[in-house]
Structure 1
Amino acid sequence: MTVAAKIKYPNRYDIVGSFLRPEKLKRARDAYHAHQISRDALTQVENSEINRLVKKEVELGLTDVTSGEFRRSWWHLDFLDGLSGAHFFTPDHGFIFNGQETRRGGIKITNKIAYNPNHPFFDDFAYLNGVVPEGITAKQTIPSPSVLFPNKDAEIYDDYYKNDLNAFLEDEIKAYQQTVRHFYDIGCRYLQIDDTSWGMWASFSKGTINPDLKPLCEAAVKAINAIADNKPDDLVLTMHICRGNYDSNWAGAGAYDPVADYLAQLHIDGYFLEYDDERSGGFEPLKKIAENGRDQRIVLGLVTTKKPELESQSDLKRRIKLASQFAPLEDLCLSPQCGFASTEEGNHLTENEQWQKIKLVVDTAKQVWPH
């Protein structure tokens, strides 16, 4: 893999990560879980569909591509389950998304959190990196460390650290640092951490952060910066903030204002921020990131992945111009607001509608930033 020349990431037109699972892949996963096909047979289908996906991403003009998270069931639980000390379990209830109960899934921390040199995501990335064309960057996505913070509402339970946040953070940070280094050693140069915590913490606050959440915000900044400060200089590290994305539904609503001061402290290379509807509030918080003295890009997630209707290009340009009142246009980029399938269920649109959304992002960004 060779990183595309003269392209800074996040790119002016970028992607969050997940794509709708093709029907052939869904049928193969169902057959595997029904013990009708082998793990090798499922892997062959996954490989074939990832190859097809990469080809489509490149055809649409993307300079960084993902595997669509085609080997995952959940955007986060599959990764967390792969860490030593954390294990997937099936709770009594699913998550509540705007009144809708999701499929059930959770994590129990039963031992010391540690790096797993045999984490399955390493082989998954190696495969993706081996099939991307010359000049295209393979992008890897993993959940942010804050997603593993014990939280019964998120079905993350601590049966080991017994509320000792400092001991938990020490182990988690080390595990993430080693994991990131392993990704780098096998060729990863663009890593995105996906974070639902900031969006939910903002949802639970009014204007300023809820005092009860301050220790968690500070712990998240500590963990993310420890990872960012330890990474190789030529590894791009970005963060996507989400308020929930399941079956075209959402979990939280609230502007970024309560968490903006914390976000501005992060030592990452770029932010992917949801801005597809009024749930995300205004662009004013961008000013705090823009004025923090770091060379960071802000990716505006203006194109929704939750609905099939195509946005107006003129409206996208208008909103980008509005955002540029708070952060310089040269620091802004454009993307969908989230992935199209954070879980294997996927959102309510077709593959063709999904690709129309990606094409709109690419075409609009090329007009706004022609050079």
Structure 2
Amino acid sequence: MTKKYFEHVGSFLRPAELVAARAGFEAGTVTAQELKSVEDQAIKDLVDKQIAAGLEKVTDGEFRRAYWHLDFFWGFGGIDHVQAAEGYHFHDETTKADSALIAGKITGDKHPFVEAYQFLKAYVDETGAPVEAKYTIPAPAQFYFELIRDAEHVEKLNSIYPDFEELRADIKAAYLQVIADLVAAGLKTLQVDDCTWGTLVDNNFLAAWGALTGKTAEEVRTELGHLFLTLNNDVYENVPEGLLVNTHVCRGNYHSTWAASGGYDPIAKELFGKEVVTEYFLEFDNDRSGGFEPLAEITDGKVAVLGLITSKEGTLEDKQAVIDRIRQAEKILPLDQLWLSTQCGFASTEEGNILTEADQWKKLALVKEVIDEVWG
């Protein structure tokens, strides 16, 4: 079994000075270099705080991004930053309409995230602390899902890639190029964030997609599940030797609200049994995530990281209640295949969730306390 580490899903609330600098950059009063200087210092401060909190794998908090996923897509060759017809619809809010639209053949050369990781890795090494710099990117399936986001996206995609197999090959090659460059920069742990599986457990999404395509909900789930698994494993099965690939499965995390609802049961065999990753960071912070029974599909050598502590609001969970839920999960999966984290990051987009910076550190302290008590 791979050694497990105290680590956070990825994103942290943006500090006030970074928020101000990004606003100034958008307004034209802050230069790109000035913004980078603020980002650099904010990331250094965050790394120091993560080390002080005892985290063994640290991130840059996604401080150079506006979105957990779109900024990565915009870094590919052949992809434009555009405004879609509408934003993403969450439970009670709609996001900004930013999107990624295909403009040419997809390539992964000289992706800006590689330089961003190099900075993180260099500073972590500079601290001398015995910690690892991990990095987070969105899943290949999530990239494809963005490219078919609406009718305009589909039409443009088909004009560039009338042959799906050519598109599939280019997505695979672009991802593997970026990953190879990250590994060359020293990356050992890659976390791939993925909301596509979250849509497949939501009956409202399945009904809406079925209405557009003339298919039943089960046909939609089966077809898309196979597609998402194929696109992801095209990459995960071919990463450089020695790279640990984990995934975080999310149902939406924007300004403390959510996008999808449903337990893991309908997708467990594909996701837990067939996706070629080592650890699954899973939402289990409320009833929308269902029960632990689907964890039975997790195969030997894999770990379910239970997201029992919510990142959506600041109220601190009762420690014993968290431990009791771990004991419930242990009835399904052995303790050595279980671990603990928050349910998601604290700021999947730059807006952040509705809690304070002090709250986020208290949440992580609770995660560490429970880990030490349950696993020793």
Q: How does 1:109-188 map to 2 (within 5 A)?
A: 109-116=102-109, 118-132=110-124, 133-134=127-128, 135-149=130-144, 150-152=147-149, 157=154, 159-162=156-159, 164-188=163-187
Per the TM alignment, residue 325 of structure 1 is displaced from its structure 2 partner at its CA by 1.0
Provide structure 1 residue ranges, at least 5 long, that are not aligned to the other structure: 1-6
One-letter identity of the residue aligned with 1:366: D
* 1:153 to partner: Cα distance: 5.7
1:189 aligns with 2:188: yes
Greater helix content? 2
Q: Is residue 234 of structure 2 the alignment partner of residue 226 of structure 1?
A: yes
Higher relative contact order by CA 8 Å / sep ≥ 6: 1 or 2? 1
Range that drifts further, 147-156 or 105-114: 147-156
- Give, in angstroms, the shift of residue 155 of structure 1: 8.8
- Cα deviation, 1:267-301, whole Å, max 9, x if unaligned, reads 11111111110111000110001xx3x41111101
* Aligned residue pair count: 358
Q: Counterpart in 2 of 1:282? A: 291
Structure 1 residues 195-204 or 338-347, which shifts more? 195-204
Is 1:250 the counterpart of 2:258 in the alignment? Answer: yes
Q: Contact conserved, 2:102 with 2:156, CA < 8 A, in 1?
A: yes
* Residue aligning to 1:98: 91
Q: Which runs of 4+ in 1 moved over 6 A?
A: none
Question: For residue 320 of structure 2, what is the aligned residue in structure 1?
Answer: 314
TM-score, normalising length: structure 1: 0.92
Contact 2:114 2:182 in 1 (8 A): yes
State the alpha-carbon separation in 2 of the partners of residues 318 and 165 from structure 1. Answer: 47
1:270–1:296 CA contact under 8 A, matched in 2: yes
Asked whether the equivalents of residues 106 and 155 of structure 1 are also in contact (C-alpha less than 8 Å), the reply is no
Instruction: Provide the C-alpha distance between the structure 1 equivalents of 2:267 and 2:91, rounded to a whole number of angstroms.
Output: 22
State the 1:77 CA deviation. 0.5
- What secondary structure does 1:354 align onto? helix
Alignment partner of 1:84 is 2:93: no
Aligned identity (percent) is: 39
Return closer, same or farther for 1:298/1:209 CA change in 2, 3 Å cut-off. farther
Match of 2:371 among 357, 365, 368: 365
| Residue aligning to 1:335 | 341
Indicate how the Cα distance of structure 1 residues 65 and 209 shifts in structure 2: closer, same or farther if over 3 A, else same.
Answer: farther
The 1:153–1:161 alpha-carbon spacing in structure 2 relative to 1, beyond 3 Å, is closer
Q: Which amino acid aligns with 2:132?
A: T
Deviates more, 1:22-31 or 1:171-180: 171-180
CA contact (8 A) 2:58 2:132 kept: yes
- The residue identity in structure 1 corresponding to 2:46 is L
Does the aligned pair in 1 maintain the 2:309–2:367 contact within 8 Å?
yes
Call closer, same or farther: CA 1:165–1:326 in 2, change over 3 Å: farther
Aligned partner of residue 39 in structure 2, secondary structure: helix
Q: Is the 8 A contact 2:148 2:157 kept in 1?
A: no
Q: Which whole-Å deviations, capped at 9, do the CAs of 1:326-346 have from their partners, x for residues lacking one?
A: 111001110010000000000
CA contact (8 A) 1:96 1:251 kept: yes
Shift of 1:31: 1.1
The equivalent residue for 2:281 is 272
Offset, 1:222: 1.9
SS at match of 2:360: helix
- C-alpha distance in 2, partners of 1:322/1:257? 17
Partner of 1:238: helix, strand, or coil? strand
Q: Does 1:38 align with 2:31?
A: yes
* Stretch of structure 1 that moved more, 234-243 or 143-152: 143-152
Q: After the TM superposition, which of the residue ranges 157-166 and 52-61 deviates more from structure 2?
A: 157-166
Cα separation, 2, equivalents of 1:100 and 1:155 = 23
Q: Which residue among 33, 52, 59 is the counterpart of 1:59?
A: 52
Equivalent runs, 1:16-27 vs 2, <5 Å: 16-27=9-20
Gaps of 5+ in 2: 208-215
Letter matched to residue 65 of structure 2: R
Query: What secondary structure sits across from 1:210 in the alignment?
Result: helix
* Deviation readout 1:85-140 (Å, 9 max, x if unpaired): 22221123211101321122111112222212x21101100000011133211010
The corresponding residue for 1:345 is 351
Change (3 A) 1:9 1:231: farther
How far did 1:28 drift?
Answer: 0.8
Aligned in 2, Cα 1:86/1:339: closer, same or farther, shift over 3 Å? same
Partner Cα separation in structure 2 for residue 182 and residue 359 of structure 1: 33
